[in-house]
Amino acid sequence: MIDTHVHLDHPAFDPDREEVLARAQEAGVRALVTLGTDAASSVRAVQLAERFEVVYAAVGIHPTRAPAAKPGDREVVARLVVHPKVVGVGECGLDYERAGGAVEVQQDNLRWHAQLSRACGKPLVVHNRAAHADVLRILEEERAERVVMHMFTGPAEYAEACAARGYWISVGGPVTYARAEALRRVVARIPEDRLLVETDSPFASPHPHRGRRNEPSFLRWVVEAVALAKGQHPDAVAERTEENARRCFGLSR
């Protein structure tokens, strides 16, 4: 398995980061991608990727952090993106639930990341909350090609639109929730070659860990819920999503 989205630099992991990674590997997680959320967090993500073989990094400025970004932060991200263990651009995107008056700032931030992704050929990792139409429109206008829709919880039509454009669709903890029948029906129809799995640790813990700190070793719960939704064996989902993640992020075996 590959956990395509974690925030390993989060202070929640300060007490036991090495143990968290050891547990992940024991649980069958062969690689994980840690996402920067601003310039400082992107620097930390790259440091973690340098320190731990199993860790890869993506660098970017999260939509909720975009309004606080300082002049020079984009240059920091653009310098980091060429690092050999940086495999993606993000976390970026649009978050209209937490935009305040910063919709335009978020949109400009997303466009800049889409351009960086095109320039370096590394996939764009997109956070989307309550902004489906604008995300799709901006990605199209910026001719984004390699795109990961992170923590997908959208409706079937949105999944279909993403898959039709060749975007990857990453599924996390919410697919395990008892009341997530509708999401499981959507996930069941995501094309095999587009599907990724993630934990978004330390957030979005899967059932039965909901409400507590999430960590990459819990990825198996996501895989099992996806397998149940698709009527497949969990090992088949683990293998297929690992293969997809390797292709998406260019990770060798």
Q: Rounded to an integer, what distance in angstroms lies between the CA atom of residue 241 and that of residue 233?
A: 13
- Beta carbons of 31 and 251 less than 8 angstroms apart: yes
Alpha helices in 121-233 (DSSP H): 132-141, 156-164, 181-188, 219-230
Q: 23: Cβ–Cβ under 8 A, 6 or more apart, which residues?
A: 215, 216, 217
Residue 200 CB, shortest distance to Zn ion, in Å, is: 5
How many residues bind Zn ion (CB under 5 A)? The answer is: 1
Q: What are phi and psi of 146, to 5 degrees?
A: -100, 105
If you ran DSSP here, which 8-state letter would residue 173 be given? G
Q: Which is nearer to Zn ion, 91 or 242 (CB)?
A: 91
Residue 46 CB, shortest distance to Zn ion, in Å, is: 16
Residue 103 CB, shortest distance to Zn ion, in Å, is: 20
Q: Which is nearer to Zn ion, 3 or 91 (CB)?
A: 91
Residue 64 CB, shortest distance to Zn ion, in Å, is: 10
DSSP-derived secondary structure for 184-202:
HHHHHTS-GGGEEE---BT
Give the pair of three-digit tokens for residue 117. Answer: 């992704």
Site for Zn ion in 91-130 (CB under 5 A): 91
Site string for Zn ion, 125-164 (x = CB under 5 A): ----------------------------------------
**Window of 45-53, 86-94, 101-109, 135-143 that interacts with Zn ion by CB under 5 A:** 86-94
Site for Zn ion in 171-190 (CB under 5 A): none
Q: 99: Cβ–Cβ under 8 A, 6 or more apart, which residues?
A: 63, 106
Q: Which is nearer to Zn ion, 37 or 230 (CB)?
A: 37
Residue 35 CB, shortest distance to Zn ion, in Å, is: 5
Q: Which is nearer to Zn ion, 7 or 132 (CB)?
A: 7
- Which residues are at the interface with Zn ion (CB under 5 A)? 91
